[in-house]
Chains A and B, each alone.
Chain A
Amino acid sequence: MGIGRIAIVGTGHAGVQAAASLRQDGFEGELFLIGEETDLPYHKPPLSKTFLKDDVPQLQLLRPEDFYARNRVELLSGRCVSAIDPAGKRLEFTHGGVLSFDRLVLATGARPRLPAVPGTDLEGVLALRNRADGLALRAALPAAGDVVVVGGGFIGMELASTFAALGRSVAVLEAAPRILGRAVSPLISDHLADRAVASGIRILTGTGLAAIAGEAGRVRRITTGDGQSLPAQLVVIGIGVEPNVELAAAAGLAFSNGIAVDAAFRTSAPDIYAVGDVASYEHWLAGRVLRLESVQNATDQARSAAAHLLGRPAPFRAVPWFWSDQGDARLQMVGLAYDPDRDVVRGDPQSGAFSVFRYRGDRLLSIETVNRPSDHMLGRKLLAAGIAPPIAMVRDAGADLRSLLEGEPKTSARAAVVSS
């Protein structure tokens, strides 16, 4: 029996790709794409990169304006879904109205976590997830000579470099012993920290945020866990995100650090799927349940979920990749490094361009590169093909690692990039 109507909740990278893929894969029924944001769906990564620097802030649209009408996607912007009834196959909107569905895709993403300290409600304390946040940051910048970034993760470090480039005095607070500690190898973390410090950013590690203080409702300073006091006219919170699971939880869907889905992106409720930042699943490459936060993960999952939903399942074998721009350092990552026991460096960190190949035993887990795009692209193919270069070869700057891919099918190159 054909599917009459599919509803997608969330108009981020995952929701929009799901809509596009459903149409591309031949779905002919009604397609609703629902999101609480009022803008046409747009790219999030530039928000912490170019959006703050451009003279006129431009949103970069995910799809052309006429894409939705052309593809018969009923885009309901500015509409928040307040409840799901899995048994009755209906959803409810915050400001009234219901919509029935045959299949539902949850792509509700994540939102910034806020620290449990006094003062987060002061004016000038911001977090960054969407356009409104980006505009608020821009508006706050002119009056902010001193900026404190709470959290040395990707978004925190990107923002810190942007603020420094805009001539602000910037301090980053990181509770862990190093920035980006959970995400990258110690070598890359140290290298990026050195670069940040060289560009004038102060990094305080091993200490968290204790309190934010203000006057007349506006932020003035912060206090660190170890008692230091720093001036701040702008405080940006970047301590990570939490998945938007409330809808799913209230509907009784199973979750573990995100909405739990199986290999076909099905939740515990029949005919309800979840993809993107909100979904947790057993990753084929890592062999464990996890939730990834990246554009690649959102779009590749959405493509795969659309295929499964239309009864054309293909095993999900996309290789995860990610990037981050921090000043003049372009970090690129491919693979997932769980429990690495060996990091092998290729190239010379002093030169500002090098890579770290991370291994567990003789298995290649991931490659992290700084300003070395060729190693990154090679890594996508190696990981897709399950090939681990011998360590001696990685260390030997003269060895051509591409020779390891000889005999691999040509199509693997493209599949590693545009897995459709």
Chain B
Amino acid sequence: MTTIVFIQPDGTRREVDAKAGESGMQAAVRAGVDGIVGECGGACMCATCHVQVSEADDARIGPREAIEEEMLESVLDDVSPASRLSCQIKLRPDLEGLVLNVVEVV
């Protein structure tokens, strides 16, 4: 189990215990975190699971695959280096304490 934290644009914090193998998006939807819709079910087709992370967390998660990179570039006017698609973040035990900042998309 990995505990991660979602922070809403208004600062509200929410800790979620992720199950092994879950993605950030799946954990968020299961727990009912506002602002993470996951419309395509994690297929990297919709960007409704967009989050922002700190530089340190970004490095912990590891580099984006091409498909995540392209999706982010296409939907955001301004891709900050901190942007990630949470459906592409597999929650491994070493990601304990990961902070995902919810960005309002929809």
| Chain A residues with a Cβ under 8 A of chain B | 43, 45-46, 54, 60-61, 63-67, 70, 295-296, 299, 321, 323, 325, 330, 332, 373-374, 376-378, 380-381, 410, 413-414, 417-418, 420
Contact = CB atoms under 8 A, between A and B. Distances in A.
Given A373-B67, A373-B71, A378-B74, A66 B41 contact: no
B75 A373 contact: no
B105 interface: yes
B26 interface: yes
Contacts of B41: 43, 45-46, 60, 295
Interface in B16-47: 21, 26, 29-33, 39-47
B74 A417 contact: yes
Nearest to A300: B39
A166 B76 CA distance: 38
List of 6 A-B pairs having minimum Cβ-Cβ separation, nearest first: A64-B32, A377-B74, A43-B41, A373-B70, A373-B67, A374-B70
Contact of A332 (B26, B33, B45): B45
Contacts of B30: 61, 64-65
Contacts of B47: 417-418
Contacts of A295: 39-41
B59 interface: no
A282 to B, nearest CB: 25
Contact of B75 (A64, A323, A417): A417
Contacts of A413: 74-77
B48 interface: yes
A401 B39 CA distance: 28
Given A67-B32, A330-B67, A418-B48, A60 B75 contact: no
Given A380-B74, A381-B74, A299 B42 contact: no
Contacts of B33: 64
B56 interface: no
A60 B26 contact: yes
A374 B76 CA distance: 14
Nearest to A56: B21
A332 B44 CA distance: 11
B75 A414 contact: yes
Nearest to A24: B106
Given A323-B43, A410-B77, A64 B29 contact: yes
16 contacts: A60-B41, A60-B42, A64-B32, A64-B33, A70-B32, A296-B45, A321-B45, A373-B67, A373-B71, A374-B70, A417-B75, A418-B39, A418-B46, A418-B47, A418-B106, A420-B106
A373 B30 CA distance: 28
Contact of B32 (A65, A374, A417): A65
A413 B50 CA distance: 15
A299 B42 CA distance: 15
**Among A373, A376, A410, A420: residue with most chain B CB under 10 A:** A373
A377 B26 contact: no
A414 to B, nearest CB: 6
Contacts of B42: 46, 60
Nearest to B40: A295
Contact of B29 (A61, A296, A321, A418): A61
Contact of B66 (A45, A373, A414): A373
Contacts of A323: 40, 43, 45
Contacts of A417: 46-47, 74-75
Contacts of A65: 30, 32
Nearest to A70: B32
Contacts of A420: 106
Contacts of A381: 74
A299 B39 contact: yes
A60 B23 CA distance: 11
A295 B43 CA distance: 11
A45 B43 contact: yes
Given A61-B30, A373-B44, A377-B75, 4 more contacts: A321-B45, A413-B76, A414-B105, A418-B46
Contacts of B45: 296, 321, 323, 332
Nearest to A322: B45
A63 B21 CA distance: 19
Identify the interface centre among A43, A65, A321: most chain B CB within 10 Å of its CB. Answer: A43
